[in-house]
Each structure stands twice: as structure tokens, then as C-alpha cells.
Structure 1
């Protein structure tokens, strides 16, 4: 039994790298998508094209699944690290803290809502039902959906930043020690 606990104590160090990589990839790709790609497509006139809904949904279908993969790795790594902790590590470690796990659960919830509720609804609103239409008007409900989507994106980015700050506090403590 003693060997099992020693093995699990060594595993979280491997998970730290995986969690940090997934978190940095997710955070940077979200910033790229939200502040470079989507504004570029909007300014370029994507929303005035007749089939912008299906094209946007296809793009977000892939991106949202990558987000689910990243949040799955993050939450799994945090749960493994939390399971292998010692009682004195709870106060000293941001990575192993209860807050990190709770933030990751909230991020999972946001990602599930974005993937399975908001993105399909936005794709359906933008779907062109008239095959002979040359340009479509933006449905009024689309503005509401964009606002909801970007509000959840902002909360997601804040959550990723909070997790990164917990990692930073751990690394700065380790550097000082």
C-alpha cells in the first residue's frame, strides 16, 4: 500500500506540464480567435455572405472540440494533483488548491454551453434557407447571441487567467525556495 502512495505522489509533476501546456494553448488560441480571426472575418464581410452560418459553425465545431479537449486535460490534471496532495500543500500550492479545481469545473461548464447550446443556435440563425439569395441580412437575434457568446468568452478568459496566476504563484514560490 505504501508503494502505491509513493507512485501517485510522483505523478502530479508530469501532469503539471500537461495542464500548463493545455492551459496556455487554450488561452492563446482563444485570444487569437476572439481578437484576430473573428474581427478579421467580420470586417472582411463574412456575415453578409449567404452561407456564413454553416461556415462559421464548421469553424467553431472544430475549435469548440479542441476547447473541450483542453479543459478535459486541465481538469483531469488538477484532480490528479489534488488527489496526490499532502494536507500541508493545500495552503502552499495554488495548483493543488480547491480554487483551481472549482475554476476548472466552471470553465468546463462554460465550454459545454458554448459547444452544445450557443454555437449550434448561432449556426442555425445564420443558415441560409433561400438558395437563391445573394446576400442576407443579419438576424436581430444574432446580435443577442454574439453578446452572450462573447460574455461567456470573457468569463472563460478570466478563468484561464486566474488559473495561470495560480500556476505563477507556485512557480515563483518554487523559484524562491
Structure 2
């Protein structure tokens, strides 16, 4: 009986702890690189090929951004979880711990805003409700949503890069 207990005790000591810094580095790296790809490769290529002028683009955009927004929520949740773990383990100094939680919370709120506000509103504004309207200008409300989106994207990149840097230094 002691042999079994002794070997079981050895196995428990061999279990490694979770590397939270690696998780946050992966989540932020994946999230930010996906955002860069979407913002600066996919959407501009769709615009230059004329696909954004097609009648079905609003529904396709809703699907593309809807899927990516759910991935953003998962990544933001992982980042926020890591922030709480860092705070609980006191891995960072007090000021940086508070900033880490605040920045992570802001990233999570941005992901929520994209999922439940921006994507539905931009898709709705993109629908062509009047087939007889020949003027193809972007409504002013849609321009405002786009400007707000780019402001939030800039904030997201700034917060994300800061958290990436802090996580890498903490590793």
C-alpha cells in the first residue's frame, strides 16, 4: 500500500502548472494577427475586387464578422482570465496588475461591442433596402459606425500590444 501511495505522490509532484503567460501570448497573438489580416488584407481585397458593391455582401460580411467576433470573444475571455490569474498569483506589481485587469476588461468590452453592436448595425446599414435607389453613397450613420470601429480597433491594437509586451516580460 505504501508503494502505491508513494508512487501516486510522485506523480502529483510531476504535474506541471499551467503556463498562463504562454496562453495569453498565444491568445493575443492569434487575435491581433487575425484582426490585422481581416482589417488590412481581406476587407481591402474585397473592396478592390468590387465585391463590397454586390447585393449579398452585407449578409456575407455579417457571417464573416460574426464568426470572427465569436473568436474575438473567446480570445478576450482567455486574456481576462489570465489577468485574473496574474492578479491572484501576484505575478505583477500592484500598479501593473490593476492596469492588466483594466486593459483586459476593455478588450473584452470591445469584443462584446463588435459582436452585439457593430456587426449587426453595419450589416443592417449595408443592406440595400431600396432597389430603385441608384445613388450608391454610404449613409452618414454608417460612416459614423465605421469611424467608431476604427477608433476601437486602434485602442484594441494599443491595449493588445501593451499586454503582449507585459506578458512576454513576465514569462
- TM-score bracket, normalised by the shorter chain, equals 0.7 to 0.9
User: 1:47 Cα deviation (Å)?
Assistant: 2.3
- Give the superposed CA RMSD: 2.6
Q: Name the CA shift for 1:144/1:93 in 2 (closer, same or farther; >3 Å).
A: closer
Which residue of 1 is the match for residue 150 of structure 2?
150
Query: Which 4+ runs in 1 deviate beyond 3 A?
Result: 130-138
- Does structure 1 retain, via aligned residues, the 8 Å contact 2:25–2:168? no
Give the alignment's TM-score, normalised by structure 1: 0.78
Find the aligned partners of 2:51 and 2:154 in 1 and give their Cα distance: 23
For residues 49-95 of structure 1, what are the alpha-carbon distances to aligned partners after superposition, in whole Å with 9 as ceiling and x for unaligned?
A: 1122111111100000000000001111221222122xxx442995x
Unaligned runs of 5+ residues in structure 2 are 1-12
For residues 108-159 of structure 1, what are the alpha-carbon distances to aligned partners after superposition, in whole Å with 9 as ceiling and x for unaligned?
A: 1111111101110001111133568899543332222111111111111111
Find the aligned partners of 1:82 and 1:147 in 2 and give their Cα distance: 34
Unaligned runs of 5+ residues in structure 1 are 1-6, 172-177
Give the alignment's TM-score, normalised by structure 2: 0.80
Alignment of 1:136-175 (within 5 A): 137-171=137-171
Alignment of 1:3-152 (within 5 A): 11=17, 13-85=18-90, 89-91=91-93, 97-130=97-130, 137-152=137-152
The structure with the largest alpha-carbon Rg is 2
